């Protein structure tokens, strides 16, 4: 870390964390500076206060200490970003930090129906670390929250896909529907099902236009033209396309950069005048340095969109993809053309780069309606008419890692995440769970999330496939007002003892998770002989689709359509 900070100082740069930390250090070490800013900012307003971190909290306290005119807006029940430094305790102790503060509870909700609000409120009430509020709405009617148990993840994806298709056929917009998952890996089955049904979708958080390889490479070229001190950009493209500059050349440039306290670009410009590099590499690097200097000199002479095209052409980058025989190459070239077209909307390359840094949106097919797939964390602040919430199972939601690492604190944040998910819905919130999950090619039993048992029975409607949990999980056509949530069943020793499998069982949960008596069943999906033969088409999670070239016991040699020939274990592939 010390070397990293020293390097930042050498190139006169700060990262996002430094922007705040240096300011905090300045206020602490120089009281006169603090006083100046206290006089300058006499009134302070803070939004999303529950998401502030420790540094932001200390910075705000120092700045507001003199006049104490600070107004913070936030919802402690929506603090879900502890993994990136957010501290829910900041909002919980606000009244202690600022004595005599006036607290205004904004309890009227203008988004959701009464059943959705009541279900969310009943769930979050199980958290102890909260300020507390009672949500209400002027809306008088609405559907109950749906809870649906299914046999496995594939059935879950199929059921949700069919519901989406039914609603779309009934005239409802895909833009008003979303599938919110706890973990990113859950989207795969839903993507496959939506593709099968021909339903357009977007994955928020997946590859976006400005995050694609060819776009990031092109932007790196532009960044070096604008700033020769941009080491990350220079390192990304100094050998893209291939120029005969390998790791040894890069190490030599890095060594000179550190010793002379120079940027990589300046070190490269210096090293080409020595014999440190081999002749071929030295010549290629000298040509690249000269090209960057030529492009930089033309910034105010040639129109920026035309210059951008020249940069990609003269660098050999466009030609690299023109000669590339991969199926992705034509699409990459089209993306580069779109990038040049996008540049025309800005006054210069610098303005375009600032835009890219602040706004990274997937612009493809914006005119087409799409259903949205995203994680619960990404959904905060958004709202949709219909929300699908799959994967409400112990170990997945609440996530076992959160329970293991944070205990009760982690459980309460997971519950806040569930609260956020439910309250994204305006009209319909539909929760599903699977009785079986395929994990690392093994079938494992899954149990309904404890959060399902914490939902108020009068606000929930339950339905499940026949045969879940030992054949005793009955299909419920009635609301959750039946004994499916009855506290009389709360002392069963396992889910199969309860006809519904939905008993609250709060006494069965500990800091470590759910405690059940009985035998768990794990069914392996693969054995020593899976019957794979040469020529069979298969699917691999990482490499995609391919055909088997050779079989050696449980080892397969597969020629994948996009990844080439690979050797894999048979348990990692499925018949396509």
Note the pLDDT tens digit of each residue in 528-542.
456 788 999 988 766
Q: Give every CB contact of residue 167 below 8 A, 6+ residues apart in sequence.
A: 177, 386
Contact 78, 421 (CB under 8 A): no
Exposure string over 318-342, b if 16+ CB within 10 A, otherwise e: bebbeeeeeeeeeebeebbeebbeb
Give percent above pLDDT 70 in the chain. 82
Pairing of strands 425-439, 442-445: antiparallel
- If pLDDT is split at 50, 70 and 90, which confidence band does 455 have? very high
Residue 562 DSSP SS3? coil
- Distance of alpha carbon 407 from alpha carbon 400, whole angstroms: 10
- If pLDDT is split at 50, 70 and 90, which confidence band does 170 have? very high
- Distance of alpha carbon 171 from alpha carbon 158, whole angstroms: 20
Residue 312 DSSP SS3? helix
The predicted-structure confidence for 71-125, as pLDDT tens digits, reads as follows 999 988 888 888 788 888 888 888 888 888 899 999 999 999 999 999 999 999 9
Q: What is the mean pLDDT of residues 402-407?
A: 86
- Distance of alpha carbon 234 from alpha carbon 221, whole angstroms: 7
Contact 83, 56 (CB under 8 A): no
CA-to-CA separations, 132 to 57, 105, 114, 126, 418, in angstroms, rounded? 22, 9, 18, 11, 16
The predicted-structure confidence for 22-80, as pLDDT tens digits, reads as follows 899 999 999 999 999 999 998 999 999 999 999 999 999 999 988 889 999 998 888 88
Q: What is the mean pLDDT of residues 208-213?
A: 68
Q: From its phi and psi, is residue 177 left (phi > 0), alpha (psi between -120 and 50) or beta? A: beta
Q: What is the mean pLDDT of residues 202-216?
A: 73
Contact 503, 489 (CB under 8 A): yes
Pairing of strands 177-181, 384-389: parallel
**What secondary structure letter does DSSP report for 407?**
T
- If pLDDT is split at 50, 70 and 90, which confidence band does 557 have? confident
The predicted-structure confidence for 296-307, as pLDDT tens digits, reads as follows 999 888 888 889
- pLDDT of residue 172 exceeding 60, the answer is yes
Query: Mean pLDDT lowest for which of 199-213, 315-329, 489-503?
Result: 489-503
Q: What is the mean pLDDT of residues 240-246?
A: 87
- pLDDT of residue 342 exceeding 60, the answer is yes
The predicted-structure confidence for 278-295, as pLDDT tens digits, reads as follows 888 888 899 999 999 999
Residue 374 DSSP SS3? strand
- Distance of alpha carbon 392 from alpha carbon 451, whole angstroms: 8
pLDDT of residue 525: 38
Query: Mean pLDDT lowest for which of 223-227, 265-269, 323-327?
Result: 323-327
**All domains of the chain, ordered by start, with CATH?**
2-97 (3.40.50.300), 114-206+369-514 (3.40.50.300), 209-358 (1.10.486.10), 537-575 (2.30.30)
Residue 28 DSSP SS3? helix
- pLDDT of residue 395 exceeding 50, the answer is yes
- 186 or 137, greater pLDDT: 137
End-to-end CA distance of the chain: 48
- 358 or 450, greater pLDDT: 450
DSSP 173-192: -GGGEEEEESSGGGHHHHHH
- pLDDT of residue 366 exceeding 80, the answer is no
Q: What is the mean pLDDT of residues 338-355?
A: 81
- Distance of alpha carbon 296 from alpha carbon 13, whole angstroms: 21
- 512 or 165, greater pLDDT: 165
User: Taking all residues of the chain, what is their mean pLDDT, rounded to a whole number?
Assistant: 81
- pLDDT of residue 212 exceeding 90, the answer is no
pLDDT of residue 112: 94
pLDDT of residue 438: 61
- Please enumerate, as own/partner, the contacts of 534-541 that have beta carbons within 8 Å and a separation of 24 or more: 536/575, 537/575, 537/576, 538/573, 538/574, 538/575, 538/576, 539/573, 539/574, 539/575, 539/576, 540/566, 540/568, 540/572, 540/573, 541/188, 541/572
- pLDDT of residue 159 exceeding 50, the answer is yes
pLDDT of residue 392: 95
The tokens of 557 are what?
Answer: 């040699």
- Distance of alpha carbon 59 from alpha carbon 80, whole angstroms: 21
């Amino acid at each position: 870390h010390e070397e990293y900070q020293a390097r930042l100082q050498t190139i006169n740069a700060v990262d996002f964390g430094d922007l705040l930390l240096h300011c905090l250090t300045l206020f602490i070490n120089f009281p006169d500076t603090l006083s100046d800013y206290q006089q300058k900012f006499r009134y302070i307003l803070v939004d999303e206060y529950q998401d502030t971190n420790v540094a932001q909290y200390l910075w705000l306290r120092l700045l507001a200490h003199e006049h104490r005119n600070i107004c913070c807006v936030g919802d402690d029940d929506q603090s879900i970003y502890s993994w990136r430094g957010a501290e829910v305790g900041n909002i919980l102790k606000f009244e202690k930090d600022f004595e005599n503060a006036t607290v205004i509870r904004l309890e009227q909700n203008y988004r959701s129906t009464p059943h959705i609000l009541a279900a969310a409120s009943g769930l979050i009430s199980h958290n102890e670390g909260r300020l507390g509020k009672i949500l209400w709405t002027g809306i008088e009617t609405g559907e109950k929250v749906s809870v649906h148990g299914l046999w496995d993840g594939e059935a879950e994806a199929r059921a949700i896909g069919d519901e989406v298709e039914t609603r779309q056929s009934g005239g409802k917009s895909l833009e008003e529907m979303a599938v919110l998952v706890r973990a990113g890996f859950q989207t795969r089955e839903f993507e496959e099902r939506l593709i099968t049904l021909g339903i357009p979708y977007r994955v928020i958080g997946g590859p976006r236009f400005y995050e694609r390889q060819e776009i990031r490479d092109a932007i790196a070229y532009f960044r070096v033209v604008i700033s020769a001190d941009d080491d990350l950009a220079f390192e990304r493209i100094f050998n893209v396309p291939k120029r005969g500059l390998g790791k040894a050349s890069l190490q030599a440039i890095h060594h000179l950069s550190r010793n002379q306290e120079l940027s990589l670009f300046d070190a490269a410009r210096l090293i080409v005048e020595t014999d440190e590099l081999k002749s071929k590499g030295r010549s290629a690097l000298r040509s690249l340095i000269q090209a960057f200097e030529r492009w930089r000199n033309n910034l105010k002479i040639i129109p920026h969109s035309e210059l951008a095209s020249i940069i990609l052409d003269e660098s050999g980058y466009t030609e690299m993809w023109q000669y590339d025989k991969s199926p992705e190459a034509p699409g990459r070239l089209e993306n580069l053309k779109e990038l040049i077209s996008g540049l025309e909307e800005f006054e210069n390359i610098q303005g375009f780069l600032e835009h890219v840094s602040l706004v990274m949106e997937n612009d493809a097919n914006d005119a087409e309606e799409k259903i949205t797939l995203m994680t619960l964390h990404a959904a905060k602040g958004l709202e949709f008419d219909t929300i699908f919430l799959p994967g409400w199972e112990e170990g997945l939601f609440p996530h076992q890692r959160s329970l293991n690492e944070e205990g009760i604190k982690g459980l309460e944040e997971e519950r806040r995440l569930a609260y956020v998910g439910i309250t994204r819905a305006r009209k319909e919130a539909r929760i599903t769970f699977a009785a079986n999950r395929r994990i690392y090619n093994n079938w494992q039993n899954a149990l309904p999330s404890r959060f399902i048992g914490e939902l108020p029975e009068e606000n929930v409607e339950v339905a499940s496939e026949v045969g879940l949990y030992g054949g005793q999980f009955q299909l419920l056509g009635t609301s959750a007002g039946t004994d499916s949530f009855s506290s009389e069943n709360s002392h069963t020793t396992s889910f199969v003892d309860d006809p519904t499998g939905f008993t609250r069982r709060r006494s069965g949960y500990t800091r470590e998770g759910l405690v059940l008596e009985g035998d768990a069943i794990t069914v392996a999906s693969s054995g020593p002989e899976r019957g794979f033969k040469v020529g069979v088409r298969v699917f691999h999670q990482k490499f995609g689709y391919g055909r088997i070239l050779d079989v050696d016991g449980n080892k397969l040699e597969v020629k994948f359509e996009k990844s080439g020939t690979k050797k894999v274990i048979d348990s990692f592939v499925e018949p396509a």
